[in-house]
Structure 1
């Protein structure tokens, strides 16, 4: 790829031939690399991948006239093209990161300091016997893209569990078919500290002990019961299969409930969480946090409008805005959110 000259790309969207005139890729020569996933690294990633308003104006048809197209369509094409353009820069960026990391390790070793290691603990060593099951019987409802997203969320659940002081007992039920094939892309997944079961959860456990977690349920969880088995539906559907998990629970005659979201926070968006967010909330509640603390420290800020706060006089709930300028006045507990895309044993 020539960085000094402009490069033309073509793409066919809805039978419309478009031409994108790209500009010179972002220069990362002045980036100062830091250790342990710094803000500098995140800024560089955004620099290489973000699409701005100026980029959207660079679309032209064969006659040089602007082509009618939604902003979303333009950004989708631009993002793909920009990703291809900046591939050499990403390689350079990742190479520099590795070089800096090796240098940092050498300096730590020379100075006699021990390099900190991520602490992990196996389920067999844990004093926590809380069982959480991911129901993987929904692969027929997901596209290939959604299956990949689902597998990534499963990786995050595994990473969260591995880094708990006392991990919960994690099960994957109905683990076969498409979802297993998708997970096979992650080398060594079969050796991870997870209980893989091909049978459905209702055959693997007593129905009387099961509580299926679904946002469509009218029942609310107040406390976590170690004798109960909590089921999380392994479905990524963008709300196209609304009520699917509730139908499964009702058809099997097992108990169902939802997380106490509306009782603790006001959300800007719909109250449907990702698989890993549900798992993380449960892990924090099991570890001793309140539901409010677990929800506020887990959910992205863009989803939270405000936290409900009970006054000492037991009057109506007061609303405390979840704003960065007022963080010092809130009771939010900041805890590290572990996200691990490529967790390995």
Structure 2
């Protein structure tokens, strides 16, 4: 029994020793593996930090240059991508034309001054022929108030599209809003102007960069709410005691005028009639509409989509008009003109076209007076007009190439618009004071 117990103890001791040896060997193997891995890492680090003979083969240009640049040139200078070269060329072209733009502005100013001198001279000659004192006529002319007639029509700029625009595009929109106010203020027949969706980045630009100039604007309603709310407030103002004068061309159809909106012939039988619950006092202007705006009508708000997106988004204004159950229509550009580029116009151009129509009652004259010549627009029937197919083929090419130019022009327009807005406020105040004195 003692021998068996001793042998059992010996076997247990041997098993323990064996287990210890196994654990030691495993630990040594693990330590050896970690040591090997550490040495391998050190070797790799050393290879990376030490120049090798085949560096030129393994080295990648992306290690030294950003994604928008190519490999280094032989002289060590960084090459530019095609996009960077285009931007650089546009910038250089813009700078090269700076003096030309100054000369054009100067010539335009001189032309206006010459026209005023001619008008003044004609008035003096007429006064002399009638036996009047020329100096007295000049004094009366100098103190004659500016003739501005308000009409019950409202232009609402819907600026609630910020989520579709980039930062610099919102800046362009702010410049277009300033231009719209400046232009409408100087119109002979002055429509009401409203700005809806005035919030977010656009509001920050006006309160910051533009120094709250909009707070000095006259006859402008600025609201953070939707265009529906702005149109309702505008309707109350237009139908009030100071709503304005209903001139002949904006009188309703019941008084002898033609319908204000008509369905295009190509959509006859394809478009369902307007629903009975459609708001007749609101017209959303959109080029996607099957209806065409024939003329403006009294006590009506015309909504202009305040969006600058280089035509990335499609049908936003049309969808918004359908969602809010309001009338919609497009300007009759295609009926009067052929364009070498798209029919897409800026916000301030649409406002200016409609304001011009209020003065002359002629869409063709309004289009030719407002649409930039660079778009190649010509009246239908005139000599030298381009074929419509060519105009469609060139669609969109111009705007992409002039985006940089338009940004700089927007910056200049903001400065000019601020000054014009301040001058307009002073002028209107002076006119009001003179009218009160006469009364």
TM-score w.r.t. structure 2 length?
0.49
What do residues 275-322 of structure 1 show as CA deviations (whole Å, max 9, x unaligned)?
A: 0111110001111241111001111112134211xxxxxxxxx34336
> For the residues of structure 1 that align with 2:77 and 2:200, how far apart are their CA atoms?
49
Shift of 1:121: 6.7
> Could you say which structure has the higher helix fraction?
2
> For the residues of structure 2 that align with 1:172 and 1:236, how far apart are their CA atoms?
15
Q: Which has the higher contact order (CA 8 A, sep 6+)?
A: 2
What do residues 134-160 of structure 1 show as CA deviations (whole Å, max 9, x unaligned)?
A: 011111211110000011111110110
Shift of 1:132: 0.9
Identify the range of structure 1 (147-156 vs 74-83) with the bigger mean alpha-carbon deviation: 74-83
Q: Which residue of 2 aligns with 1:341?
A: 417
Question: Relative to structure 1, is the Cα distance of residues 320 and 169 closer, same or farther in structure 2, using a 3 angstrom cutoff?
Answer: same
Asked if the contact 2:155/2:194 (under 8 Å) is kept, the reply is yes
- Partner secondary structure for residue 198 of structure 2: coil
Structure 1's unaligned 5+ residue stretches are 1-11, 19-59, 98-111, 309-317, 324-338
Number of residue equivalences: 245
Q: 69, 78, 83: which is aligned to 1:16?
A: 69
> For the residues of structure 2 that align with 1:219 and 1:162, how far apart are their CA atoms?
29
TM-score w.r.t. structure 1 length?
0.61
Q: 195, 204, 224: which is aligned to 1:181?
A: 204
Instruction: Indicate yes or no: 2:154 matched with 1:131.
Output: yes
Question: Relative to structure 1, is the Cα distance of residues 139 and 63 closer, same or farther in structure 2, using a 3 angstrom cutoff?
Answer: same
Coordinate RMSD, CA, aligned: 3.8
- Partner secondary structure for residue 190 of structure 2: coil
> For the residues of structure 1 that align with 2:89 and 2:231, how far apart are their CA atoms?
49
> For the residues of structure 2 that align with 1:120 and 1:132, how far apart are their CA atoms?
25
Q: 85, 88, 92: which is aligned to 1:77?
A: 88
Question: Relative to structure 1, is the Cα distance of residues 203 and 229 closer, same or farther in structure 2, using a 3 angstrom cutoff?
Answer: same
What do residues 196-241 of structure 1 show as CA deviations (whole Å, max 9, x unaligned)?
A: 1222121333533000001111100111102211000100011111
Instruction: Indicate yes or no: 2:316 matched with 1:244.
Output: yes
What do residues 26-59 of structure 1 show as CA deviations (whole Å, max 9, x unaligned)?
A: xxxxxxxxxxxxxxxxxxxxxxxxxxxxxxxxxx
Q: Which residue of 1 aligns with 2:398?
A: none
Q: Which residue of 2 aligns with 1:269?
A: 341
> For the residues of structure 2 that align with 1:237 and 1:279, how far apart are their CA atoms?
18
Asked if the contact 2:337/2:379 (under 8 Å) is kept, the reply is yes
Alignment of 1:150-299 (within 5 A): 150-184=173-207, 185-187=209-211, 188-193=213-218, 194-206=220-232, 207-299=279-371
Question: Relative to structure 1, is the Cα distance of residues 204 and 236 closer, same or farther in structure 2, using a 3 angstrom cutoff?
Answer: same
Q: Which stretches of structure 1, 4 residues or longer, exceed 2 Å deviation after superposition?
A: 12-18, 60-70, 77-83, 119-122, 203-208, 318-323, 339-345
> For the residues of structure 2 that align with 1:129 and 1:121, how far apart are their CA atoms?
19
Shift of 1:269: 0.8
Q: Which residue of 1 aligns with 2:171?
A: 148
Question: Relative to structure 1, is the Cα distance of residues 73 and 168 closer, same or farther in structure 2, using a 3 angstrom cutoff?
Answer: same
Shift of 1:69: 3.6
What do residues 4-42 of structure 1 show as CA deviations (whole Å, max 9, x unaligned)?
A: xxxxxxxx8744279xxxxxxxxxxxxxxxxxxxxxxxx
Structure 2's unaligned 5+ residue stretches are 1-64, 107-134, 233-278, 387-412, 423-439
> For the residues of structure 2 that align with 1:77 and 1:133, how far apart are their CA atoms?
38
> For the residues of structure 1 that align with 2:199 and 2:77, how far apart are their CA atoms?
51
Q: Which residue of 1 aligns with 2:384?
A: 321
Shift of 1:163: 1.0
- Partner secondary structure for residue 256 of structure 1: strand
> For the residues of structure 2 that align with 1:301 and 1:82, how far apart are their CA atoms?
19
Structure showing greater Rg: 2
